[in-house]
A and B are shown apart, each in its own frame.
Chain A
Amino acid sequence: MAAVTLPVLIDQLVSGLAIGGVYALVALGFALIFGVLRAAQFAHGEVYMVVAFLVLAVLPWFPALGALQFLLVIVAAAVFGAIAGMLIERGVFRPLADAPHIAPIISTIGLMILLQNLVAYLKGSELHRFALAWPQGNVPVGPASVPVLKLVIFGTALVIPALLQVALARTQLGRAIRATAIDAETARLMGVNTARTSLVAFAIGSALAGIAGVLVGALYGVVYSTMGVTALVKGYAATIIGGVGNLVGAVAGGLLLGIFEVFVASYVSPRWTDAIVYTLLIVLLALRPQGLVGRAIPEKL
């Protein structure tokens, strides 16, 4: 096992923050959709995957000019994600608005199976290379030398939620979203167009998933048809860790999850990482059912 020195710790921290950043974006998107529609979007991971493939398809048309390419990739991911989200909201959730709660869950499960296998059918289920021209190389952080890519990913995972937070607080649409998340019925009575709000929330949430998808593609250098499954489970877990419906919590949960995974894998065992993470998740829920950041749920039964 590696000696615990500062460069090693920095290395590990940065790795954790990078993958944690990806989880954070997925979780944020999931939480946003859940908060507004009270619906668990099981196809969220597939949006992440499909967008990654779509961007891969259009990548050859982007000028391979350093940071410009990166920016275009992010924008394209957001756009594709938003469109996918709106299609799903209209096509899957809207028709089941009055149905029993379980119905949209099953429907999105069906969508998840469909999309995963459709992409496997069209593009093959093997790994596909996803290479960006920028960022490349390493940069010194303290005594360690870390990949620029990881820092950029972490940075993106901070900037985008921050922008979102500002938009939610300052714009009318943002306020409408927050109102609908608190109480859709009341919001509607107060004149909020909840139908449009749902659509927008879904679009934003899915855009976030799409961005996460291209970021992870860049991080590992590959995309593949089953990549959405892990994203869904991790994103769901991160949302719970942070506290359901809590946006800041979702981001914090994602980052913490990523860091935690790296450290457990490094200092305990890569084989038992998942088991340990899940056990601690249960312990966390047993002790603090509202998540780390969530508001206390008052009712006991």
Chain B
Amino acid sequence: MSRRPLRWVSALFVIALLVAGCGSPGDAADSDEIKIAVVGPMTGDAAQYGEDFTRGAQLAAEQINAAGGVDGKQITIVTFDDRNDTTEAASVAQKIATDSSIVASMGHFTSSTVYAAMPIYKSNQLPLVVISASDPGITEQGNEWVFRVSPTNNLGAEAMADLIVNELGLKKIAIFYLNTDFGKTEREFFTARVQANGGEIVLDEPYQPDAKDFSSSIIKLKNAGADAVYLSSYYNDAVLLIRQAKDAGVETRWFTSAAVLSPQFTEIGGEAVEGVITNRVSQGDSWDAVAEAYRAKYNDDPSPFVIYAYSAVQAVAEAARSEGTSREAIRDGLAKIQGLETALGPLTFDENRQAVYESFDYLEVRDGQFQLWQP
């Protein structure tokens, strides 16, 4: 066989390796800046969430830096794309961890990507602040390098169950849930609470993550006799489901998990999603203030993920201020946080490094916007 290709291909391989090897990061930590990695789905189906993370983090960094930074040191945000894929998440986490100039990381969108990346943060001793993944197990693993500012999914699901059954008196409930860890755990908590409150689940329908056709499930819904429907879903599946149901003539009240909160939901949903009710951790004035700044900059309302990201940066900044700018110092500083004023209101980590939440708000889609709502 022609030996030329093998020769130059192997030569290319060597060159590529050398180039990659030489160009590797690992610069000594620049002591004038505090570099925080933001990692999430920057491309792909869930890119919206990655964007939320980035914007929230950058906004926080800007505002903190404008007010003098952390003892004069500027916060720098660097972003990484894990494409919402577990293998990629582990790979990217490794990349982040290998970069010694990065002192803290935040993100990974789903619980599975967090699970995939967690061991790497631990073995490289880099603090990770989770800002969306909601599986309660994450902070129960005993991994002392993982913190979470976002709520676990049981809280929101239980709040909704209380609303629907106790406050609105709707007893027959249908639930559609995404067949992933997120959807399944939410469903578990929701169902348990509904039944504890004396309600009844009349239809329990899972669906695959990339499902676009809900016709068979909707036909079942039509005949299930439900007073209310709860969706453990992300915004794109929720939108499709609700539209298709409305098109098929289903009349009922719609309730969703907090993950649905996104301008995309109302944009694509249009008329069909008017009246849909969801929940969110209670916002305080600090949240509103940040939302104001966000609106001014991006001309759009921030989703909760923006706020979680913002708060995470605030937490890291505070940790750096109190304990120092090395990775261990930041970890120690985070663990000590009690009642820190953040966009989320007072932030306190419990003994599992999970942020503590007290109350939830309800939101309704009205005139194409999510607006506060009371039963």
Contact = CB atoms under 8 A, between A and B. Distances in A.
B243 A125 contact: no
Interface in B193-237: 205-208, 210-213, 215-217, 219-220, 222-224, 236
8 contacts: A8-B222, A125-B47, A126-B47, A222-B212, A265-B217, A270-B216, A271-B179, A271-B208
B359 interface: no
Contact of B268 (A5, A129, A270, A274): A129
A93 B213 CA distance: 33
Contact of A129 (B48, B206, B267): B267
Given A12-B219, A222-B268, A270 B43 contact: no
Interface in A1-33: 1-3, 5, 8, 11-12, 15, 18-19
Q: Choose among B48, B207, B212, B244 the residue with the greatest number of A CB atoms under 10 Å from its CB.
A: B212
B244 A220 contact: yes
B270 interface: yes
Interface residues of B, number: 34
Contacts of A12: 215-216, 219
B169 interface: no
Contacts of A145: 249
A147 B248 contact: yes
A149 B249 CA distance: 13
Interface of B: 43-45, 47-48, 179, 205-208, 210-213, 215-217, 219-220, 222-224, 236, 239-240, 243-244, 247-249, 264, 267-268, 270
A127 B270 CA distance: 13
A11 B212 contact: no
A120 interface: yes
Contact of B223 (A2, A127, A270, A274): A2
Interface residues of A, number: 39
Contacts of A165: none
B216 A222 contact: no
Interface in A217-265: 219-222, 224, 226-227, 230, 261-263, 265
Interface of A: 1-3, 5, 8, 11-12, 15, 18-19, 120, 124-129, 131, 138, 145, 147, 149, 219-222, 224, 226-227, 230, 261-263, 265-266, 269-271, 274
A270 B270 CA distance: 27
A134 B165 CA distance: 39
Contact of A138 (B213, B215, B217, B249): B249
B205 to A, nearest CB: 7
A125 B220 contact: no
B45 A274 contact: no
B44 to A, nearest CB: 5
Q: Choose among A12, A19, A126 the residue with the greatest number of B CB atoms under 10 Å from its CB.
A: A126
Contact of A11 (B43, B47, B222, B247): B222
